[in-house]
Structure formats: C-alpha cells, structure tokens
Structure 1
Amino acid sequence: MGADKPHAPSCERNRDPILEVLRVHFADRHNVLEIGSGTGQHAVHFAGAMPQLVWQCTDRVENLPGIQLWLDEARLPNTPAPIELDVSGAWPTQRYDAVFSANTLHIMAWDEVEQLFDHLADATTDDAKLIVYGPFNYDGHYTSDSNAAFDQWLQARGAHMRIRDAEAVDAIADAAGFKLVDDITMPANNRCRVWQRQAWLG
C-alpha cells in the first residue's frame, strides 16, 4: 500500500513548523475542517500529534483515494473518511470551530478564494479560528526573489493562479466576520496567517 500513496516532499519539510502554530492556536479547538488536504500527509501528522482534534480532510473527488491511503495506514481514531469539497460546490452541514488550509489560495482562482470565505460563516462556529499557510505578498510586493519566481511559474501554469496580496485576503476575511489575530513568519518565505471569527459580526 505504501508505494501507492501520493507524496509531497514539501509536506515533510513544513509540517513541523506548521504544527508549532497549530499547537498554540488550536489548543482549545475540537473539530477541524481542512480545505484542500492534498495528499493527506498533513492530516496524519497533525491529527497524530493533537489527538484532541477531530481532523476532517476534504478535497476534490479525484484526490480522495490518495488521502484515504494515508488515513488507512495511520489508523488514527480522530480522522474520519475524507469528504468531497470544491469551494464552489456544496459544503458540509456540520459546523467546525477550526479551519486549516495549506498552499491553496494561490492555486484557486480569486473568485474561488472569495467563495471560500463566503461559505465560512455557515461552516464555522461563532468563535472559529482559521489558519492559512502559504506565500503572501505585502503592499503589492513579493517578500523574496524566490516567491517572485514561484509566482511566474504559477501564472505559466494557469492565468488564474498567483500569490495573493495579504491585504486583499484580509479584506474578504473581514467581510466574512474574521479578524486577523496572528501572522507568523515560516520557513521558505511562507506565512501562517490566523484569523478568528467575531461573533458580534455574525
């Protein structure tokens, strides 16, 4: 089975720095919705390290079998079967008090990023936390030459792909009732940006 599992080397490199952030911000959380679980490697690592969390993997339908291979091998009690989630389609009816997503915003089209935040009000509890890992631009500028090169590579793959401006993401998060509470420098010119839902904003 192991030879058939999908594998992303970047997950092995970034999983422990991300886990340090999750240990702080998800310490009092219970149900995590992961948007775009990819291979499933992150889910297995984080759910294994934080057994108090029920970690719900999601992705487009074509990625679910690979995720299931990782979950089957790990046999963790807190990782239910992955479910299909395309941000433009139907979302789970359960409400989650935590949402995590890694390396997704620059792959989605901008209207899909907007739809993601639009759906969060119905998918989360009133005090939910959202953590997004990946590269961001600030004040319209790249934070490194490597991010500039990565952005060129993304746009060569698809015109809808690009590194997102932090301020633009904050604006749609704010409109959805999520306030930025932390912005953490990560290895390889990435960030972990943390928002918390403000119940008084609905």
Structure 2
Amino acid sequence: MKRIAPAAERNKDPILEVLRPLLRDGATVLEIASGSGQHVIHFASVLPAVTFQPTDVDADARRSIEAYRAETGAKNILPSLALDAASDTWPVHSADAVVCINMIHISPWSCCEGLFRGAARILPAGGALFLYGPYRFFGVFTAPSNEAFDASLKAQNPAWGVRDTDQLLALAAETGFAHEETVPMPANNHCLVFRRL
C-alpha cells in the first residue's frame, strides 16, 4: 500500500531546510499533490508543532499517505483529502501555508492556474505558497537533463512540461502573490516562494 519514491527520499531534507523558516509553531500547512506521502511524513516528524494537511487527486496516493500515517502514528498529520488543484472548490478553506512539490510539470497548465487561485482563496495576507521542481528561466533550461526531461514529459502528454518562471511570476501577480525568493536546489531543481498580498 505504501509507495516509495526514491526522489522524495533524496530531496526531503534539502526541501525542509528551505521550508522550515517559513513555518511558525501552530501553523497549518496544506500540501497539494502529496503523492506517496513521504514528504509530509518527514516534515511532520521534524516539525511537531506544525499541523499538515496532505491531499492528492489520486486515490492510490491517498492510500499510501494513510499507510504512512498509520505506521508513524503522527498526531500532527490530518487524514488525507481528495483535492483537484484545477478545481474552483477545494475541501480546505484556510491554511497558513500551501506547499506543492513536483506537481506543475506533470499536470496541465490549468492545474497550475488552479493552484495559485486556490492558494489565494485560502491563505491570509503574508501566507506562503511554496513550490519545488524543475523550471526554465527566461525560456532557458538550467541543464541538458531538464531539457531531456521536458521532452519526455511532453511525449507522455503534450499538456505537461517544465514550466518557465516568467509564466509563474506573471500568474502570481495576477492572483495576488509577490515573488519572495528563488532557491537553487540539488539535481537542477529550485524552490520558489511566494507571499499572499
């Protein structure tokens, strides 16, 4: 029932290092597209004073998350919810931060638009929207491996692909977010941090 994503094991600590300063004790964090659940389980174990709400549109992913929750007995992880990022109706109505790891390149652009719109609905002023994944900058890939990855994604689904930060910053401005920080990460990935205005 539990899924194991090797990439999640590799990147969970570097992501946490960037994410941790954004989360105060008592905060509630909504994770979009939690996947296997490895990230949320790790984050919750290190940040016991932060409450995490995992979600995923995929039922098998939610079963994996619940298997991890049951195994760890973590009290600061809420039961996983079905959430379609592209939908205008989310099952969560408020959060202090929204985290989305490795989703927007394996989903249509409508999911990215929905992510920003939904985060704008539920976050307070100053709330953080945190993204992690591979990106292009001014139309340029950061490494040949990312360009090859983009081609493989588009071969699977033409609506997928590595997104350009210019598009993301424009979408952020349209939906009421300011870009706060871009942090280079291992394996040619980046963290993008936005704040709700």
- 1:87 corresponds to which of 82, 85, 93: 85
Partner of 2:34: 37
Cα shift readout 1:163-187 (whole Å, capped 9, x = no counterpart):
0000101111111111111110000
Residues 135 and 191 in structure 1, CA contact (< 8 A), matched pair in contact too = yes
SS in 2 for 1:68: helix
Question: Where does the alignment leave 5 or more consecutive residues of structure 1 unmatched?
Answer: none
Identify if the C-alpha distance between structure 1 residues 93 and 61 changes in structure 2 by more than 3 Å, giving closer, same or farther: same
Q: Given the two structures, how large is their TM-score scaled by the length of structure 2?
A: 0.95
Consecutive aligned runs of 4 or more in structure 1 exceeding 3 Å deviation: none
The alignment's C-alpha RMSD in Å is 1.2
Q: How many residues align?
A: 195
Partners in 2 of 1:127 and 1:92 — Cα distance?
22
How far did residue 94 of structure 1 move? Answer: 2.5
| 1:24 corresponding residue in structure 2 | 21
> C-alpha separation between the residues in 1 aligned to 2:38 and 2:136?
26
CA distance in 2, matches of 1:70, 1:190: 26
Q: Say if 2:25 and 2:50, in contact at 8 Å, map to a contact too.
A: no
Deviation at 1:29, TM superposition (A): 6.4
> What is the TM-score with the length of structure 1 in the denominator?
0.93
Of the structure 1 ranges 75-84 and 23-32, higher mean CA displacement relative to structure 2 is found in: 23-32
Aligned match of 2:117:
118
What does the per-residue CA deviation read over 1:21-73, in whole Å, with 9 as the maximum and x for residues that have no partner? 01222246601000000000000000110112100000014221111101111
Structure 2 unpaired stretches of 5+: none
1:60-103 deviation line (CA, Å, top 9, x unaligned): 14221111101111111100100000113330243111010100
